[in-house]
């Protein structure tokens, strides 16, 4: 058992400033010489960039379904044994989703630090704070912090609205220079901004002036983290022993869970990185992973990477596997049509085209069955694809087995040694299925009915 200062930063909805506060709190304590570990609740590739920069350590996901309770317990216990402060950033609103951030807080006794965007309210702030705290009587609670506050008078009105003044953790100003920019899919990655560290320092400076920022480490909530009863994450076989996997990694292909890289290494693979945007050649390898990201923002540059396109085609012609995930799959089609209507030729390893839309086309947890093994993960994208390929399988929602006539999820396309889908996989949920994706063992798929194969994927 390890005891450590810990909070879960949550909010009544998305866009309230959770990431700003979590990153500011981490940065503030790191600057004071403390060891801080930060986790992200739920599937997310973008917020962790900021949280990792703020804490100076990798940021892993905690999700009671996707990563599993045993994995969450193991990671929290291990982090508490080496850190002075643990911060978990919630997902969406505190009670949104199944499982929710509140479920995680209750399961592990993480006191909730609620961040509320108060720019258009006064007395209602107190009602909202009270509701968040008391909606579930057993929910551990740390207090409430107001964000985007107009000034001292506004902050005083918000504080006065609370039924319990001791719950007031302070206010952050509106229009400050530490706001984190957004685009479709979420925050702009910290690695894309030259002033990312300066933004975090400004946020930490602002937080330092609040009651929360002035609290000493021992004044923060102290949480006991039990050791896992059963060791999770152990791999039975090193199924990728001796294999080299080339992983695309840059601003166009940035959606990579650090834990997924850990799984590949634990399976015995040697991982090498290359940047399509920088013009890197395809490294000598046995398999390629093209992760998700923003190929639509870099379509012109990717279109010009003809040498890499040809190297990938030769790799495929040699029968070597490619796992293309969401944005990685998008880059493999013949054409991408941007939201403004402009068409860009892409790498053409898959027949068809991708079209960007202004609204989400899919969002939520998904699972993919490969033979006897099931990979858990999620989907989140603004595009759709049109292709002559017949899906080899479909993902399913977590509760699809219990829902009669449930609509199929994301298509898995198998085109020679290429395996491609909008599905983002959490490799640790099934190392055996992960090895199948990278060609270590034959991939087995259940046969689909004609009705399922006729499913219009979008």
Kindly state whether residues 155 and 106 are assigned to the same domain.
yes
Q: What pLDDT is stored for residue 456 in this prediction? A: 36
Residue 147 neighbours by CB under 8 Å, 6+ apart: 16, 17, 20, 21, 115, 116, 117, 118, 119, 171, 172
283: domain CATH number is 3.40.50.880
Q: Which residues in the chain land under pLDDT 70?
A: 176-194, 230-236, 400-407, 440-442, 444-458
CATH code at 179? Answer: 3.40.50.300
The Cα–Cα gap between 70 and 93 comes to 24
203 lies in the same domain as 325? no
Indicate whether 291 and 180 sit together in one domain.
no
DSSP 361-417: SEEEEEEEEETTEEEEEEEEESEEEE-SPPPSEE-B-TTGGGSTTPPP--EEEEETT
Which pLDDT score, from 0 to 100, does residue 455 have?
41
CB 435 within 8 A of CB 239: yes
Residue ranges making up the domain that contains 414: 244-453
Give the Cα separation of 427 and 434 in Å (integer): 6
Judge if 169 and 250 occupy the same domain.
no
The pLDDT value given to residue 458: 38
Say which residues have a Cβ less than 8 Å from residue 143's Cβ, sequence separation at least 6: 113, 114, 166, 167, 168, 169, 212
Q: Is the entire prediction scored with pTM above 0.75?
A: yes
Give 338-376 pLDDT, tens digit per residue: 888 889 999 999 999 999 998 877 788 999 999 899 999
* pLDDT at position 44: 86
**Residue 233 within any structural domain of the chain:** no
**Active-site residue among 41, 72, 326, 385?**
326
**Does residue 424 sit in the same domain as residue 361?**
yes
Exposed, middle or buried, 273 (CB in 10 Å: 0-12/13-18/19+)?
middle
| pLDDT the model gives residue 307 | 97
Q: Is 41 a catalytic residue?
A: no
Assess contact for 22 and 38: CB atoms under 8 A: yes
Can you tell me whether residue 420 is helix, strand or coil?
strand
Number of domains in the chain: 2
CA atoms within 13 A on the CB side of 320: 17
- 176 and 82 in a single domain? The answer is yes
Is position 236 within any domain?
A: no
């Amino acid at each position: 058992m390890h005891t450590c200062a810990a909070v879960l930063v949550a909010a009544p909805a998305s866009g309230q400033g959770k990431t700003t506060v979590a990153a500011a709190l981490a940065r503030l304590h790191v600057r004071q010489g403390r060891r801080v570990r930060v986790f992200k609740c739920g599937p997310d590739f973008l917020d962790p960039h900021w949280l990792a920069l703020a804490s100076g350590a990798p940021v892993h996901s905690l999700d009671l379904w996707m990563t599993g309770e045993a994995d969450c317990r193991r990671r929290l216990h291990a982090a508490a044994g080496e850190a002075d402060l643990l911060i978990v950033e919630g997902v969406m609103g505190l009670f949104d989703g199944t499982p929710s951030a509140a479920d995680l807080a209750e399961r592990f006794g993480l006191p909730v630090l609620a961040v509320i965007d108060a720019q258009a309210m006064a007395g209602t702030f107190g009602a909202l704070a009270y509701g968040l705290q008391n909606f579930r009587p057993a929910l551990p609670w740390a207090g409430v912090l107001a964000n985007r506050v107009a000034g001292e008078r506004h902050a005083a009105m918000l504080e006065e609205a609370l039924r319990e003044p001791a719950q007031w953790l302070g206010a952050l100003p509106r229009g400050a220079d530490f706001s984190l920019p957004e685009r479709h899919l979420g925050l702009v990655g910290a690695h894309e901004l030259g002033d990312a560290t300066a933004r975090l320092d400004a946020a930490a400076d602002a937080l330092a002036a609040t009651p929360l920022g002035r609290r000493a480490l021992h004044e923060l909530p102290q949480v006991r983290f039990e050791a896992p009863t059963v060791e999770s994450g152990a791999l039975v076989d090193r199924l990728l022993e001796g294999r080299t996997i080339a992983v695309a990694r840059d601003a166009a292909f940035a959606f990579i869970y650090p834990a997924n890289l850990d799984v590949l290494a634990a399976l015995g693979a040697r991982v090498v990185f290359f940047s399509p945007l920088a013009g890197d050649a395809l490294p000598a390898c046995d398999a390629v992973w093209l992760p998700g990201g923003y190929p639509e923002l870099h379509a012109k540059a990717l279109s010009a990477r003809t040498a890499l396109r040809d190297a990938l085609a030769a790799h495929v012609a040699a029968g070597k596997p490619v796992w293309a995930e969401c944005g990685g799959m998008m880059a493999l089609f013949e054409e991408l049509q941007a939201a403004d209507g402009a068409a860009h030729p892409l790498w053409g390893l898959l027949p068809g085209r991708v079209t960007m839309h202004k609204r989400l086309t899919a969002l939520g947890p998904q699972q993919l069955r490969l033979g006897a093994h099931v990979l858990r993960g999620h989907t989140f994208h603004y595009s759709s694809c049109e292709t002559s390929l017949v899906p080899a399988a479909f993902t399913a929602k977590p509760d699809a087995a219990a829902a009669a006539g449930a609509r199929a999820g994301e298509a898995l396309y198998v085109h020679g040694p290429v395996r491609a889908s909008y599905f983002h996989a959490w490799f640790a949920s099934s190392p055996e299925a992960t090895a199948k994706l990278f060609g270590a063992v034959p991939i087995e798929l259940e046969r689909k009915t004609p009705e399922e194969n006729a499913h219009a994927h979008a």
